[in-house]
A and B are shown apart, each in its own frame.
Chain A
Amino acid sequence: MQNDKNKILQVKDLKTYFFTENGIVKAVDGVNFEVYQGETLGLVGESGCGKSITAFSIMRLLDYPGKTVGGQILFKSEDLLVKNEKQMRQIRGKDISMIFQEPMTSLNPVLTIGFQITEALEVHFKMEKTKARKRAIELLERVGIPIPEQRIYEYPHQLSGGMRQRAMIAMALSCDPVLLIADEPTTSLDVTIQAQILELMKLLLEQFSSSMIMITHDLGVIAEIADRIAVMYAGKIVEYADTRSIFYSPLHPYTFGLLTSIPRLDMDIEKLESIPGIVPDPLHFPEGCKFHPRCVFATEKCRKEEPPLAEIKKNHSVRCWHIEKVEQEAKKISFTGRLTTDG
């Protein structure tokens, strides 16, 4: 499955900086990853690690003071970064579409659901109104919204959170995109609704044979839906591997920390582990490995030299000097429970 031919998106050394009054914030600093046909890539990390900025960079939706200053974003072997605004507009919504975090705020309150779904169809396919409306009804039906012929005339406030997110998904899928970027699509929903939405997305991705980049901080969500995972920390990818490897044998202390801080049903743990410290100030990243102030394995070397993202095993890259220690530690705890109970 993973050969260059069906590589849909390749992000090469992406650098997105914010030029603020206090200095340059390197929100995304040299990120590399690929997305293949039909697969889901999980982009995981804490708030402020640059995962949403990566998504916005791919869509080229960043506003001043944010700017992509380097790298390449190859979509179907064409670099999105050299395209002009008009060319980008033709790609947005048609080839690459996006689902946002808050279904409450990602639908325009003064426009009907139907209008918002048909808009993309009219923009990209010059579809006429009646035809577009038909398609909108069909899409709403596919995302499991009851009585869609009536719903298209309703406004967002008349729908529940789950329904709104379904409508968002219908909007994003309306033009049959090759790649779907989902920015924490389930974060603000109830847990039961979350599961429904994830099921739905999984099903639809298969039906539409689209690829997806799923951005989340929720490892439970990612375990359920992603084929491969890139863990981001402070604007860089620290671990990049398939889902199984990340969950069974994490090699970066940050990934390890994230996994141990998930509540477990299968084990009797009194106190939940947490990663000490906070995400570093993006204006003053620590020298050396950016994770060292919070890392239990940190040594003198970590403080001085930043480790490269090295491919340790086949398709498993890690940015750490102390992989062996993490591996040993990870072996002591089985993460399988998490995968089987939740995933």
Chain B
Amino acid sequence: MDSTLVIDIAISAVLALAVTLNALQLAGLLGWVERKASALIQDRIGANRAAIFGFAGAGLVNTLMADPLKFLTKEDVIPRGADRLLHTIAPCLAVFPALVTFAVIPFGDVLVIAGKEINLQVAPLNIGILYVLAMVSLGVYGVVLGGWASNNRWSLLGGIRGSAQMISYELAMGLALVAMIMTYGTVDLQAMCRAQGGTILGFIPNWGIFHQPLAFIIFMIAGIAESKRVPFDLPESESELVCGYFTEYSGTKHLMFFMTDFIEVVIVASLATVLFFGGWQVPFLERDGFHFGETIIALPQILVAVLGILSYTVKSMFFCWLQIMTRWTLPRFRYDQLMRLGWIGLLPLGFLNAIVTAAVILAFGSH
């Protein structure tokens, strides 16, 4: 085999592994952040029961060691009369689309190693953001099948609620993305990040949020609704449906549904970062160093790449935090409020935003 081909395959494999592990790791960490943050917000002490020789590590031992161990070693119960095959497949169908979405999200600009330029994005597909939409739309199946295959009324109700909610908010999310595609004139997420370099008027970073604030609000609300978290957690709603579509799941399968939720939080955060906050862009930083007007502070390439990755990570962590704050601040919507917000609130706003964006581009002719 050609040696450059082998190197290319190796680079792709390393990138894919790094991104997947990073997503899983972030999802695990979010489990800890969520429990500790909820405790802080509600003025409790929070997860601190498990400890090794008295060391609880601010709940880390509890959430990152004790809880996963408990989940992994618990008995896997499939209720009587349930569809055994679909009951087992459902959690896999939930995790898979969430994990593969990260393939198109760029987490840095380019890394030059030994003269070879590595694009810090696992799969530079020419359909870019459409791939994200496709995978998001497949995420419904885990919820629907999990609810249906459990042979439990609460589960079924949760599954049906979930499917209706996710279809409804996909539309609003798609329309927000349409406006962003028009703004940047591309569907490739890496190209979108590159388009956000530079500044407006010399001091505001040229980020999507300053061009499309309404699209950001629509995207964020629809994104939280897509990941089924409070205030949109009607498919789960503990006080009404026990645990919604995954009531009848235990052990590892329950953990998989649980992880899917957190992975989706990370996806929404990364997409918000990439689309609206410049992705890996650091204000005033270009490929050869910082540019402040005429003064240039030169930096080595590797440092620029690391700064970019760091910038992406910090921004997406901020949006993870924002979503967790939202979850522990707001009460749950009623179902009719949820539907009204989606169809009468966000959808027309999304249409309006897209039409205005198109009109502005048509009138001024620039992206």
Do A and B come together as binding partners? no
Residues of B within 8 A of A (CB): none
